[in-house]
Amino acid sequence: MCSEDHEKAWTEDDIIQFIGEELSEKTYRREQLIDQVVEQPSLSYLHHLGFVISYLNQALAARVR
């Protein structure tokens, strides 16, 4: 997790942009290509979705503390 995400004052627009970028087909396909290059099995899109939501949850929870 990036330290900037812990310090960031997330707005609704920031959340929408983050989700839009991270869940785009382009980002997912790029990660699959990287997995192929480093010879690691690619994770399912559902797994990727869970990671993105968990990441966002951690970033927002850090702001509450």
Per-residue pLDDT of the chain (65 residues), as tens digits, is 466 665 677 888 988 999 999 999 999 999 999 999 999 998 899 999 999 999 898 888 876 66
Strand spans (E) along the chain: none
Name the burial class of residue 32, with classes exposed (0-12), middle (13-18) and buried (19+) by CB atoms within 10 angstroms of its CB. middle
d(Cα 51, Cα 61) in Å, to the nearest integer? 15
Specify the pTM. Answer: 0.71
